Each structure stands twice: as structure tokens, then as C-alpha cells.
Structure 1
Amino acid sequence: MPRAPLAVAAAGTAGVMTVVDLELVRRGRVGEVKAAVAALDDGERVALNGELLAWVKKRSENFWNGNELTALVVAVGGSAPSAAAAARVLAAARWMSPGPATADALLEVAAARSVDWVPDLAYRLSGLASRRSADPSDQLWAFIARLLAAGGHAPPADDWFVIGWLRDLYFPSVARLRSRPVVDRLREDPFLEPLLPHVFTVDGAGERLTELEAPGTRGRFAVVLALAGLAAERRVDRGVMLRGCLSRLLRGDRPGSLRGIVALLIELEPTEAEVTADAGDYLRLLADAPSSVATAAQKLLRGAPGVELDAILEASAAVLRRTDKGLVRGQLGWLEALARRHRDRAGDIAAVLGEAADHPAIELRERAGALAARLGGTAPLVAAPAMARDDDLPPPAPPAPAPPPITDPDELAEEVAAFYSGRPFTALLPLERIVDGAVRLAAADRPRLRAALLPVLERHREGMGEHGWDPRCLCGAFTGLLHAAAEPEQASARRGGWAAVLAAARRFLVLGEPMPDRRVPPIHRILRARLAEIGAHAGSAALPGGLLSAPTSANGALDTEVLLERVAALGEADAWPWDLIQALLRLPKDPDEPAAARAEAIGTPAATRLAARLRAGGLPTPQWHVELAPRRPRDRGFDYGYDGLPAARVQVTAASPPMDAERYGLPGTETYGLLNARSGPPGESEFGWHELWPGLLPWDRGLVAAYALPEIASSADLDVRGRADALLLLAETAGDPGPALPIGVAYALTARHEQDRLAGLDTLLLLAASGAFDAETAGTHLGALSAAGAVTIGRAAQPLRDAATAGAPRTVWRLLAAALPALLEAKTPPRGTPDLLTLAAETATAAPGPAEIPGLSAIAAKRGTSRLATEARRLTAALPPHST
């Protein structure tokens, strides 16, 4: 057959002679690529496959989609001699978004060649994808699924593929299927039988069962209803699903994932006989499982009268010790019903009720005590526990010293690999050590640095460029800096970008021009400027002694004597401006005249700047302004995400007092831009970069807290996980906490996720131990935010109780006394207010309280036995005489 014109040897996009012009692939000319590969002989196919692999690997931004990706897949399908060879090329094209249409093109080319390795390629790609990420790409999953389904091949049972299958049920990759009911799609799904058992073995799979709500069902889930319906039709084995649900619940998973399994178990409607047969497993769930799972088990067990009473009583002892009030309340009701049915066992039931004697909810203690008394037992203790009169907390430990600098290229390579694996870059101390080590080694032994570092950078090159969607991104700056240190010739392509960052830093931070994007605050711009400056110098004039600004303490602080030694070691060499600025900001805040005199004696420009800073002391305290700001206005048209924003958020604005910045050894005119903290209205979170900031200003934590407050608040009013961890870093630094730090603690105490509430609790205890926690400010804003509906106050009860029992009852009482007025005077007191009233009654004797808690007497005077009125009366009785 004559060779197609497009298949002749031509210069490819990389300037290398190729058997097919690779420019056709880059331009997405799918039909022409098909024609070109069809005309190749076996030798040319092998050559093209190798050329494709080399070409794809050289691509700096390895993102593939649309016709370009389809053309690449066609070229691979038309040239690869085996599934392994095809997988190597497609694996190198790391970020792919193929789909069913791309799969059809590959199947067509493979059929024309009569190759049989397409299913093997699908399995290889699925295995590769599962190793790279536990979260399937919709398009890649659809691509692999089409390759397998076309030939009737069994699907892989790995976690990645199972999760992708469940996601496809929620939003099918084939558009025409999206309007069909889920049950109809599942009924015809070729993967249903082989993959359904794995829904119960793959961690996180149950969460996918809850992604699609069935219309008109008030919160029931479409996939769950479809599976239950197919079980009723005997299209799938109901027994397999029942056993799978029970096994998954016993093994445990994330609460969000177990929610879907519980919903499926309920929809399958286990019979009394089935529950009785598995009563031991259900009782284990009742005693040990998360609250939602235990509640479902409790409901099923109560409907199965054949379960043995002794087994129920044994499980009840564990249930009554749990903190889940709804579950304990339900168990008390069940025990009361059992007491009526088994009057001869009243004493045994009363003995079990004694397990509630130490329950933190006093209303449950009272109910258990009353029931035990009726049954002839001894009533559990129901009085509020006595609290100490004052805080009893150990003094916080001093910050740990920073690790020694990195002086070996192999150690630096190991640190860089570990740092890349922990993206995003939110750990300042490892970042500082790596950057300082790169500067030192670039000056001391660049050949060894290149040999050790470049393989690591190559392995992690994917995704490490600048990310335009994240205005605070440091990935490209950090990676570019390391490249420049190892290969000076690589720095030339980045010099323009570094120069732009440095020019912007001078305009916004030195000359005081308005910042175009408030999402990138001055504190972050200083870090970006320093990284750009280091990158610009690392390829040529590296510092043998490392950075002036490298911290000597784990909290980011820099010892004055160490900085004096570093400045003296510079000699007549010029200090890098932003490196020197950062070093001055890390020095202790108090003036130090003796050290200033020693700096002045050195006589260099850097030493003169240092002397001025040591005489003047640290930055002055900003002027604070606190307000409760509403969310932004709704955009015209469709405003995605507006309704998910909090109704209001506390904002702390910092403004610079009049000052002469040159007096502090810092650039600027009358004000220094770092002191101007501004934030926009509540919006989306910004990827957690704020965790880098405490160590940049280790003596000005109130200012850092003002910058970080929007991120910390998102843990409570946007339910973002992990955003309050920065509070612990702030607690380890020093300086005036300002209003933002206690407000941040208030937000963290009401965070959605436990790790953030624990961060708030630990920060409260650390600050209280050092006498730096403003409980009144935290409480006032906690109450105001809750009354405004911006946070969920019920989440704060447990961490505050933990704080009181850990040795800070006085602090907790002061916080509650400040929070309660806004809660009690709200039109409808928020849910969780009674729990705070109970805790206030238990801590009220710990410290003198206010003369009166506004709103308390009015609620306490209400008739009835509502929990709110009962706890208000309890607090009124517990207040010291001077407070009534």
C-alpha cells in the first residue's frame, strides 16, 4: 500500500525527525493522525511509539484533553506493539481527561490493527490511576470503562474503579443517560453484579451512595433506593447486601461514608428474625459505633423482641457512658419499656442505670436517677460536679530550637522529596530549612547539589508549576528557586517572573500603592518576594553562610546574637534586601541598645539597618477595628455558591499608626504596608497558605491572627477541614494577641470538624496558661455569631467542657458569661444553649461573675419544664450571691 503523505519522515514539534508529524497530534487533527498511523509498517510503528514517549515526557505542562488527547491516544493505539508500551506513553501524559469518545477512537484504531491488548491496557491504566490517587477522574474512569464494556470484559475490583463506578451512577459520563432513573440505569449496568459486593469493602464507597437525592423523597438517596428496589425484584442478592452492610458498619469508616451504608440497611428493612439472628453484631454497633450507626442499630433492636435481655443490659452499660445525648436518651426510654415488660428484673435494670451517674448531661443523669429510684435502685448522682475555683494549668513550654541547617546535598534531596509529598506547602520550618540549604549548597558544592536534587525535581515536576487559580500559590516560586540553585542556566527563563514579583512587592509594600488583590495580603507578599529574590540570586551569587533570615527557633523567631554573627560574616557583601527585612522582623520585639551598639560597630550597610531595628524595637501595635460584616452582595444572574456563604463574619482590620518605618530599619515612608490587614467579605477558602504566616512574624501574633482570621473562620462557617490548625502555631508565638486571636478561638470551638475544635481547645488552654487569653472577647463574639446564625453554638459545648475539666474552669466561666447574653436575648435561643447553661452552672463558682447575666432571669422565670428554662434556673441557683 502506498505511504500516506502525512506518514513520511518529518520534523516533529521538538525538531526531531519523526515517522509521523507530531504537530498533527498537538493540533488535535484526529482524522489525519488515523490516516498517518494506518500507513505505517511494524518497524515504523515501534519507532513512532518511542518518539511519542520521548515527546510526551519533554512536555513541561502535561495536561491533555480534547482533540489533542484523542489524537495522542489514536497515535498510541496505532503504534504501540503491546499494552505495556501503550501504557508507558499514556502514563507519561499524566494529567489526562479522556472519555467515551476517545475510547471509541482507540477501539476503532485497535480493531483496524487487529490487536488484542486493549483490555490489558485498560487494567494497567486503572492500576496506575489507583496508585496515583484515590479520587477517580470522571473522564479517565469513563475511558477505561468504555474499553472494558465494549468487549464484555470484567471490571477491575480495585478501590479506584469501584469509587469511579459509584460516581458515574451519580452523574453518568454519557450525557443521554443522565435523564434516565438510576434504577433503570443500574438494571442494565454490566458492572452491577461484579462490583456491588465491593461497595462494602472499599473505604469511602458508602459516601458515594449519598450523592444523589431522589426527587420527592425528603432526603432519601436515589442510588440507595435503586439498590433496595433491585433487591426486591431479585435482580441482586438482598442477603449479600444485608451482610455487606453489617460487615462494613462493624469494620467502620468515615461518618460520611457510613451514612450511606446505614441508609441502605434501613431501606433493605431487616426483619425481626434477621435482626435477632445477628443480634450480637447489632449490639456491638449499639455500644461502639458512631452515633448515627448506633442509633440505627438501636431502632432495629427495639423492633426485635426476641433479643435476650441480658445481652441488652450488657450493651446498655456501655451506651449510658456515651456522650451522644440522643442515643442515651433513646436507651433510657428502651430500658424503661423493658422494665415494664420484665418486672422481675427491675433490680438488674436499675443497676445498669447507675452507669449514667457521671454523664456530662445533667438532664440525663436526672432522668436515669428518677427511673432507677422508681425501680427500687439507688439514684445516680445528679448534682452538678464541683469545679475548682481558679485555673490550674501548667506553664507552656518554651519553643523548641530549630533543627540545624542542611549542609549535605543528599539530605537536602530527602527533605525536598518529603516536602513535595506533603503538598500544599503549609509547614514553614521545613520550607525555611530547604531554601537555606539550597543557598548554602549552591555556594559550596553545586555539582553535588545538581546530582542529588535534579532527580527529585524531575520526579515531582508534575503539578509543581504556578497555579493560576490560586493567587497565593508558591509552588512555582519554590520549585524555580531549587532549579536555579542546582542549574544556574535554568534561571534565565524565570528571571522575568521574579523581577515582576519583586517590583510588585516594592510598589505595594514599600511605596504604599493599593494592592490589586486583597486575597494576597502583605505578609504573604513578603514571603513571595523573598523566594523570588533568592531564586534570582541562587544561580549566581549564592551566600556561603546561608540566609540571614533562617530562624533559630521552631516558632520562627531569630536570636539576636546569631543574626549579629551572620551580618558580620557577610563582610562588605551586600545583604539581599528582602532576606534582611525578614530577619529584622524575626528579632525579639523589645529594644536592645547593647546589641545595637555591637551592630553599629560592624559598620556595613546591613549592620546599620540592624542597629536601627535593635534600637527602635519591633513593629508598633496596629490600630484595631472589629466589625460583624455581612456576606457579599449577590451577583447578577446565577451566583453559584452565594447561598453557601455565611450570613455574617467577624472581620478584624489592622491599620498602621503614624510611624517612621526607616527608624525600624525597614523600607517605607510614613506607614509600613505590613501593618495594614484587610479582608474582603466572607468567601471561599484559600488553600491553607495561612499556616506559613505565624513564623514570619513570630513576635506579632495579633497581626498574623488578623490576616489569618478569614481562613480560621472558614472552619466554622464554611465547614472547611484543617483551617484552625494555624491557631496552635499562633499560640507558640509571642506578642499582643489583639482581638483576632480570641475571635479565632471562638470560631474554632464551633468548627465542623473535630481536629479544628481540638485546635481551638488546645489554643485556649495554652493562651490561658500564659495569661494571654481574652475570654470576654472570645465569648462576646461567640454569642453574637451564634445569635446571628453564623456558627453552630452546640459544637462548642464539648471542647469548653474539656477545657474546664483540664484546669481552666475560671476561663470557661468568663467566656460563657460573655457569650450567654446574646444567646438568651435572641428571638429564638440557638440549639445548644441549654448545654452551655449547664456548663456555666458547673463553672459559675470558679470565679466572680458579672452582677447580672442579661436575659437569664426572664428565661428562668418562665413556667414549664423546657430544657432551656430548667438550665436557666439551675444557673440562677448556682450563681454566687453577689451575682443574683
Structure 2
Amino acid sequence: MTRSVQVTDVRPSAPEPARSGVERLLAAVIAGRPGEVPALLEPLDTAERKAALTRLRTLRAEVRAGERATPPSVSDRIRSALCVAGAGCLPTPVAAASWLGARDLRIRAEDQPLALAALGDPAPEWAADLAGRLARRRAVAEHSYPLLHGLIVRSGYAVPPTDGYVTGWVRDLTDGRLVERLRADPQTPALVAHALAMAEPPEAMTRPAARGGTGYWPSVLRTLVGAGVLDRAQVLDPCVSRLLRGGPLRHLRLALETVRLLEPDAEELRERIPDWIGIAADAPSLVAGYAQDLLVELASAGALPSGDLAEMTAGVLLRTEKKLVRAQLALVGTVLAREPGAAGELLPAVTEAFGNEDTDLQERALTLVGRHLSAVDRGVRREVTEAAALLSPTHRRAAEELFGADLKPGAVAAYEEILPPVSEAQLVPPPATTVEELMAELVLDRLPEQPVVFERALDGLVRHAHRDRAAVVRAVREALPAPEHEGPSRSSAHLAPGITVVVAGLLGHLDPAVVDLRRTRGPDSGACLHQALSGVLDARLWEAAGLVGTGALPFLLAAPTLHTGAIDPLVLVERLREYRDAGVEPAPADLAQALLRVLRADPSAGRAAERAAALGTRAGGRLAAWLRRDAPVGATVRLLRPDEDGAPPRYHLSDRIVVDLGERPAVRAEFPPAFRWLGGALEAIPRRCRHGVEDRAPWAPALPADRELLAACLLATLAHSVEADARGATEPLTALAEADGPAGRAVPLALALGLGCVDADDRLRAVDAVLVLAARGELDARRLATELAWLVAEGTVKPNRLADAARTAAATGAYRTVWAILSAMLPVLLDADKPVHGLGELLAVAADCVERCGAVGEVAGLDALASGRGSTRLVVQAGRLLNALGQAAGQPPTEPVRIGL
């Protein structure tokens, strides 16, 4: 049994008996007086320090177990004093590094000099070994830089250039005297070079500041280079290498700005031509544009060999940024006008643009090839001609005029729609068969982010604890980090929902009153649907925490049998049979989740209902009734107009979504509190929700048999991701596409919002969901088009983002599917009261789909738009789509697309 460390106010009263040095050291530590520790350590010999270390370890365990019973400020002083005292008692660098780097003994910044003093005057090799071990632990090195620096100075050895040490060094340096301190610090050259090469530079070096200001690191580095403190090449090289390695722009700004301020001369640029070519091809747009500008500068001066220009061109023309592609084609045109003999090397590279998604860029590339085709030999001409197969059909006639007989028409293969294969539902493997396997699952870092794996591990924990609680408790104490499972009963009640809650219950560290409160708590009346969804898992975990290791919970009824989180009806019947035979009554939350997961539309549901009723138990009767109901739960979605009564004053869509769960008396009467919202306990009002998605994992597997309800629960977060720079909201859409149950309005609306998200990765996940539904024959393209049309018309979904998603979907080979959606939405957009800005992008994708799949039909309003004057993208692409539809129907094009040669 642990005891809390109590700190008392020690006042002199009666004379105390003389105490040993070890006792005085322990008293100073317990009182939280780290400043006294070095002096108390000094007179102790080796035996006394060894004895003190044993006492300190015991005290450490007591402090760790009782830290919540001690005021935080006092607890911090005690831990810091413990850290200082232990540092002076440990005999080896390995032991000292383990002690000084422990999370529960994090030393305060002001006490780090005390730790140095406590270490005394170790041998240089000892100090360097300890510093190296601490430096390799990033969090420790960042926090304890003064301690590490002191060890390095004492040892006289080289500085350990690790990410953590460098981050701590930068944080320690950054102030108004940055230049002066860097000049005086002998570490500067080695640590600056390491910082510039880091995948994620120290935050202090990337902090925005006025250009040229005292805290602006790029300006400071330029100053140090000019003063000779830093070698110019040793700054340029890691910066260029870092840009070449790529990554998020926020991690590249330091290197980019440093290179810009150093202004590489012509010789420095020539020495790094291969690097600039790689950066122009693969780096983020801003960085690639800078590299392209440098290479243009070299090319304009005649200092870029044609072979290097061809390599650069091939890389840049594969990018999606139109600005970069246009600039590259212009550069090649300028060079060819000056050096016609370079056409043999450059034209094959130019043909990379033939496959660009933008037909205007294809036209520019074809025009450029046409101007200089006569200057190449027959081999190059053949290579360029073969690449013409990549051109859009709209440029086919122009390509035939240019290449003549060399362009083999060939037989036109019949179009075949390509959709992802329909995957069979994957069976969830049985839970771990041994305690050792179970422990390996429980300590997985990403376990909560894999819902079905999480459920499997949770079921395994419950099963093994039921069979042999003592064995599981022993294994848990050995396998899991102490802070996650040690502590008094009340402290464990603060653990976040997850495996740790159930583990704490298994170890007896939970207050029964807290368990009862959490397992029977329902969502507040004002809770959003995500809080309600998360509350389902929360209630289940606290229920399991209260019952784990007892006869009342032999295994989980709600453990999924399929990767979607669903449960086979016949399997659930057999689980209830086992409960009946064992004389166990199902836990309320566990049974409720099992009912939500059972596949009511499965072919075996009828037989399962009969067998469940035959069990003769209340739980069996509930399952039978549940399987026989048409729609035990459901949702209706509507959207308030901005001027409608009850609508929020703001125009945001995320504030106008109303989900009506409807009245389900059986759900409200039979389900525990955490589930009753599914029966209409939450009033249908606009629910402002700005949930992040860090806890999104359990949302989809909670409702694998009710696709429409799941979609309705996701709408608010999806709408927020369309209107704001939020990310990750579409991750549940894959599960939505694989879920069971009918679809109403919520499913197509969720897909439409996903396709319009700000983040490209979110849109890509929405595209995957659409294609999966199409492959399963469950995509209602017209309903999806209806939702997309009004979202675009009112300005919620930006046409360019939707065009990007549509283009991505089409490029997988699903041109006909994408056209089915676009053809149903375009008439609405063409007839909109206000012009839809960016509609030309959608028309371009639509034209490409028609050209590829040969669709026929008419689009109301397209004729009038295509016959308009001007050469805007909107008019040009409307004409292109009209021509494509006419050609597919066997009609001549209204006006051939010509390319000037």
C-alpha cells in the first residue's frame, strides 16, 4: 500500500537528536529544498550514497503514487530535489542517464546547475558518456540543455549534435543578443549546420519576425557568414539539401529564406544545378518556384546545359501547378528560339505536358512542338509522335494535322469503366489466446486509432481477466508503464477513456462511485452528436472497468466480427446463448452496443431472430425484436435557410444543419442513458459543433449497421471542414461507404461536403468513398448531384475544389461515373441566379469525361453559353463539352479546335 508524501512546515522547537548525513539528505528532499542537496551530498562516502540511493528510490515510488495528493508546486520541488540527489548517488553514466531522463523526475530549469554540482567532478569520459546518452533522448535534451551543456564543458569533448540538444541550444540562445552570443559560442558552426539539416527545425528559428530583425534567424545567419563566423558553403549546402528532401512548407521556410538572403552567385548556382532541378520537380510550390527562377536565371545567361534543361523540363511539366508549367514552356520556347539545335533534347521533355489535366496547357505544349518539329531527326520525331497519344481527344485533329501519317490512328478500344474492386467484409481475428499476446496488443501506441483492433484487445483483456485475474494483473504491472496503472483509487478516475480505464479497474484503482457515475451518464441536452457518439464508448469502457475480472463479464457481446465494426446476427445469438448457459445477465451498455452493431439486413437475420426468441431470455427477446424492426433507429436531415425562424444569425452551413433523430420509445425505454439520444432524447435544433477529429476513431464503428444515422452525425464536422481550414473530417467516410443500411439525404450530403473540403487529403478520402459506393452499386449519382449543385450555387463548396475531386475520381478510370454526377448538376449551375465563379473548371472535367467515355446527351443551357463571345475558360470549355457531346452522338463538331503552328 502506498502512502502520500506529506510536506510539513518544520519549525525549531525542542533540540533534535543528531541525524546521519543520509537522514539529513532525505529530509531536505522530502521538504522540497533542492538547493540544500549538493552540500548535503558532499560529505557522503560511497557506502552512504548507496544507502541513500535505496531510500531515494523508495521515496520516488511514494511520490509518484501520491503526487495528486500533494500541491503541484510542492510536488515539483520534491521531484526536482529527488532528481538532484539521485544524480549524486548513481555510480555509472547509464544509471545516471536513466535517473536524470525519467519523466516523473523532470528537473526544474532553475535546479539544473544544482544537478551539475551534485555530480561533482567526474572523469571527462564519464561526463561525456552521460551527456551523449541524455542528448539522444530528444525530450530530455530539449528540457535539460543547461545540464547537458555543463557536462560537455566539463568533459572537453565535442558537442553532441542531436535534434534535442540543438533545439535546447536554440531556445537558450534566442534573445536580443543573438548575434553576439552566436559569435562567442564555439558550438555555433556545428550546431547551426545540424539545425539547418533537421527535418523539423527548432521552432525558435522559424518564428516569424521582421526581416533583418535581431531575432530573425535567416538575417542572423547571413550576418555571421559575412563576418566569417560561419563558412558560406557550410550554410548553403545544408539549406539546399533540406529543400531537396522536401516536406511541409513550414519546415522549409528557414532554409528557403536563408538561401534567398545569401543570394547565391552564378558559380554557386552552377555547382548545385542537379539540386535545383530536383527541388523544382518535387518541392512545395513556393520552393519549386524559387528553384525554377534560379534555373531560368542560369538559362537566360546561357549557363544551363540543354541536357539539364531537358531534365528540369520533364520534372516541372509533371507538376499540377499551371503557373509553373506555363513558365517552363515559356522558358523552353525562349531557349529554342535562341538555340534551335537543342530541339532534339528538349522536345521529348515538352511532351510530358501532353498528359496534363489542363487542355490549355496541352495546347501550348503541342504548339511549341509544332514550331520546332522540323529541326529534329526521325528518331526524335517518332518519340514525340508516340507521346501524342496522351493528348485529350479535343486536340486529336490538330495532332493529326501536325504529325500526318506518322500518327497511327489504330483501332479505338471500347470504353470500359474502371471502379475499385468490391471487397468482401473481413473477419476479425479471435482475441489473443495468451496473456503475453494480449500484453503486446495493449501497449501498441496507436491502438485507440484502430477501432476494431482496439475492440479485439478490449475483448481479450476482459476474457483473460475473467479466466485468471491474478495472472493478468501481474502481466499488466510488468508490461505497462507505471504512470498509467499506479496511483491511489481516486487518481485513476482521471484517466482518459481507453484501455487505461479498464486496466485501472482491473487493478482496483477506481472509485466505485466514479465508475457508477460514468457508466450511467448520458449526454447533456445541449451535446452535439459527436459528444453523444463518444459517450457511447465512454459508457462501455467505464462499465467494463467496473466489471472486468468478475463473473459478471466473461466476454464482450459487442466485440465486432467484421472489419467494419458489424456483428453477424447468428454469432450474437450464440454469444447470448453462452451468457444464458453461464447464468450471466448481459451488461446494459455492452448489449446496447451489440444491438447497434448487428446486421439487420443480413440474409441470416430472420433465422437469427427465431433462434434469439427461442433462448427464452430477456436479452434474446430484445435481439429478436430488434432484428424484426424495419428501422429501430434513424435520422432525418434538414437545413435552415438563413432567414428562417430559429436559424443562427450567421450564414455558415455548419450552424444550419438540423438532425432529427425521431421518437423511438423502445430505445428510450430499454437502452442505458448513454444510448437514449438515439431514440430522440436530443431535441432537433441547430447544434453548433467545432469538434476536432482527434477522437473520431470510435464514431464509425459505433453505427456500422445504420449508414444514414452515421452520416447525419458527421455532417456538422464535414461542413466545418468545407468552411474552415480543418483537416481529417472525412476519415470516417470510408467506413460510411462500407456500412450497412439504407441511405436518405444524409449520405449524399456527407459525400458532397467531403468532395468540397478545404484539405486535398480530405477530398481524396471522399473520392474513395464515392468510388466504393459506385463499385457496390449503391451510389445515387443524381441525389449526390442535387446536393452538390445547391452547395456550389450558394457558395459553400468552391467549384475549383470540387473540380479537383472530380478530376481525381475520373483519372482512376471512372469517367462515366463522374459524368453521371456532373451531367445532373451542370444544368442547375448554368441556370443559377448568380454566375458561378470557377464553373469553367467543372466544364473542363466534364468535357474530359465525355471525350473519354463517349457519353451522349444534352446539357440544358450549354448551347447558349458555348455560343457566347470571348475566349474565357468558361466559354472555351463550354464549347469543348458541346463538341464532345456532339461527336459522341455522331454529329460534326460545331467549331474545330485549332492550334496555331
- Give the TM-score, by structure 2 length: 0.79
Query: Could you say which residue in structure 2 is the equivalent of 1:614?
Result: 627
Query: Could you say which residue in structure 1 is the equivalent of 2:404?
Result: none
Over residues 538-571 of structure 1, what are the superposed CA-to-partner deviations in whole Å (9 max), with x where a residue is unaligned? 1322444x22222211111111111111212222
Match of 1:683 among 690, 712, 720: 690
Match of 2:591 among 558, 580, 590: 580
Query: Could you say which residue in structure 2 is the equivalent of 1:838?
Result: 844
Q: CA deviation at 1:740?
A: 4.0
Match of 2:303 among 300, 303, 306: 306
Q: CA deviation at 1:338?
A: 0.3
Query: Could you say which residue in structure 2 is the equivalent of 1:49?
Result: 53
Corresponding residue SS for 1:624 = strand
Query: Could you say which residue in structure 1 is the equivalent of 2:637?
Result: 624
Query: Could you say which residue in structure 1 is the equivalent of 2:663?
Result: 658
Residue 541 of structure 1 pairs with residue 551 of structure 2: yes
Q: Is 2:170–2:204's contact at 8 Å kept on the other side of the alignment? A: yes
Corresponding residue SS for 1:695 = helix
Distance 1:628 1:56 in 2: 62
The aligned amino acid for 2:666 is: A
Q: CA deviation at 1:383?
A: 4.0
Change (3 A) 1:374 1:93: closer
Change (3 A) 1:46 1:777: farther
Query: Could you say which residue in structure 1 is the equivalent of 2:478?
Result: 455
Distance 1:467 1:824 in 2: 64
Q: Which deviates more, 432-441 or 259-268?
A: 259-268
Query: Could you say which residue in structure 2 is the equivalent of 1:369?
Result: 366
Q: Is 1:57–1:93's contact at 8 Å kept on the other side of the alignment? A: no
Q: CA deviation at 1:237?
A: 0.9
Q: Is 2:225–2:232's contact at 8 Å kept on the other side of the alignment? A: yes
The aligned amino acid for 1:234 is: G
Distance 1:439 1:651 in 2: 43
Residue 413 of structure 1 pairs with residue 419 of structure 2: no
Q: Is 1:768–1:808's contact at 8 Å kept on the other side of the alignment? A: no
Corresponding residue SS for 1:214 = coil
Match of 1:707 among 702, 713, 726: 713
Query: Could you say which residue in structure 2 is the equivalent of 1:641?
Result: none
Change (3 A) 1:864 1:663: closer
Q: Which deviates more, 575-584 or 136-145?
A: 136-145
Q: Is 2:205–2:254's contact at 8 Å kept on the other side of the alignment? A: yes
Over residues 412-465 of structure 1, what are the superposed CA-to-partner deviations in whole Å (9 max), with x where a residue is unaligned? 1111122xx216x12111121122112221222333323333312236728999
Q: Which deviates more, 547-556 or 459-468?
A: 459-468
Query: Could you say which residue in structure 2 is the equivalent of 1:570?
Result: 579
Over residues 156-194 of structure 1, what are the superposed CA-to-partner deviations in whole Å (9 max), with x where a residue is unaligned? 21122234445666xx4xxxx3xx275555445554222
Corresponding residue SS for 1:691 = coil
Corresponding residue SS for 1:504 = coil
| Pairs within 5 Å for 1:93-242 | 93-94=103-104, 96=106, 98-99=108-109, 101-107=110-116, 109-110=117-118, 114-116=120-122, 124=130, 127-128=133-134, 130-131=136-137, 139-141=143-145, 144-145=148-149, 155-166=159-170, 172=174, 177=175, 180=176, 183=179, 186-189=182-185, 191-205=187-201, 209-214=205-210, 222-242=216-236
Query: Could you say which residue in structure 1 is the equivalent of 2:702?
Result: 696
The aligned amino acid for 1:274 is: E
Corresponding residue SS for 1:569 = helix
Query: Could you say which residue in structure 1 is the equivalent of 2:406?
Result: none
Over residues 231-290 of structure 1, what are the superposed CA-to-partner deviations in whole Å (9 max), with x where a residue is unaligned? 233221111112222333344444542343233222221111222233233334444555
C-alpha RMSD of matched pairs (Å):
4.6
Q: CA deviation at 1:195?
A: 0.5
Change (3 A) 1:783 1:261: farther
Q: Is 1:715–1:721's contact at 8 Å kept on the other side of the alignment? A: yes
Q: Is 1:387–1:809's contact at 8 Å kept on the other side of the alignment? A: no
Over residues 701-755 of structure 1, what are the superposed CA-to-partner deviations in whole Å (9 max), with x where a residue is unaligned? 2222332344455665554554432221222211234444444434444556554
The aligned amino acid for 1:50 is: T
Q: CA deviation at 1:677?
A: 8.1
Q: Which deviates more, 519-528 or 343-352?
A: 343-352
Corresponding residue SS for 2:433 = coil
Query: Could you say which residue in structure 2 is the equivalent of 1:633?
Result: none
Q: Which deviates more, 38-47 or 756-765?
A: 38-47
Q: CA deviation at 1:403?
A: 0.8
Query: Could you say which residue in structure 2 is the equivalent of 1:73?
Result: 80
The aligned amino acid for 2:237 is: R
Over residues 479-524 of structure 1, what are the superposed CA-to-partner deviations in whole Å (9 max), with x where a residue is unaligned? 1313444x4xx15x3322211112313xx4xxxxx43643753222
Corresponding residue SS for 2:659 = strand
Corresponding residue SS for 1:625 = strand
Change (3 A) 1:812 1:877: same
Q: Which protein has the larger Cα radius of gyration, Structure 1 or Structure 2?
A: 2
Q: Is 1:474–1:528's contact at 8 Å kept on the other side of the alignment? A: no
| Pairs within 5 Å for 1:456-855 | 456-458=479-481, 461=484, 475-485=496-506, 487=507, 490=508, 493-505=510-522, 508=523, 514-515=524-525, 517-518=527-528, 521-544=531-554, 546-571=555-580, 572-590=583-601, 592-626=605-639, 649=654, 652-661=657-666, 666=671, 672-673=679-680, 680-681=687-688, 683=690, 685-687=692-694, 689-712=695-718, 719-751=725-757, 755-775=761-781, 778=784, 794-816=800-822, 834-844=840-850, 851-852=859-860
Distance 1:611 1:876 in 2: 57
- Give the TM-score, by structure 1 length: 0.80
Distance 2:866 2:490 in 1: 56
Change (3 A) 1:603 1:347: closer
Q: CA deviation at 1:622?
A: 1.5
Q: Is 1:529–1:578's contact at 8 Å kept on the other side of the alignment? A: yes
Structure 2, unaligned runs of 5 or more: 1-9, 375-383, 396-411, 644-649, 895-901
Distance 1:432 1:313 in 2: 54
Corresponding residue SS for 1:649 = helix
Change (3 A) 1:714 1:657: closer
Q: CA deviation at 1:81?
A: 2.9
Change (3 A) 1:732 1:590: closer
Q: Which deviates more, 120-129 or 724-733?
A: 120-129
Q: Is 1:393–1:808's contact at 8 Å kept on the other side of the alignment? A: yes
Q: CA deviation at 1:28?
A: 4.2
Q: Is 1:616–1:663's contact at 8 Å kept on the other side of the alignment? A: no
Change (3 A) 1:570 1:270: same
Query: Could you say which residue in structure 1 is the equivalent of 2:646?
Result: none
Change (3 A) 1:599 1:519: closer
Report how many residues are paired: 825
Corresponding residue SS for 1:521 = helix
